[in-house]
A = this chain, B = another copy of it.
Amino acid sequence: MDTIPILRMGHFLLVTIQVDMHDRLAMRLQDDLTERVVKDRAKGVLIDISALEMVDSFIGRMLGNIAAMTQVLGAETVVTGMRPAVAITIVELGLSQLNILTALNVDKGLAMLTSRLEIPAEVNNHEPHQK
């Protein structure tokens, strides 16, 4: 098994990271995820890392890259389920400047994405996006 499944849930995509990430798997995930964001016209991506007991600078950068890539494609990324030890490492490694949105768990991540995006039931007139 050399792919991480990407699950679609309405407007969002969910990825649960359960295995140790090596270079090839991380690259594959980036490729698959960006492809799926476009294909499924996803508005948000949830990456659950509750299974990860620790995070190194490689994974930290990967998360930052994914967040940046999906943002370019018009989707917000939220990292959920971060353990306290992981949060400490993230700050110590200086990765907290990566501008990654986080939430306590998937439930709260979903709520965050929904409220941030304020997805309307139907959009007829596309107004310019206010920054």
Interface residue ranges, A against B (CB under 8 Å): 1, 3-5, 7-10, 14, 16, 18-20, 48, 50-53, 81, 105-107, 110
Contacts and interface: CB of A to CB of B under 8 A. Distances in A.
Contact of A1 (B14, B20, B106, B107): B20
Given A18-B1, A18-B19, A7 B53 contact: no
Number of copies: 2
A52 B19 CA distance: 14
8 contacts: A1-B52, A3-B51, A4-B51, A5-B50, A5-B81, A7-B50, A16-B16, A18-B19
Given A1-B53, A51-B1, A51-B3, A106 B8 contact: yes
A5 B5 CA distance: 14
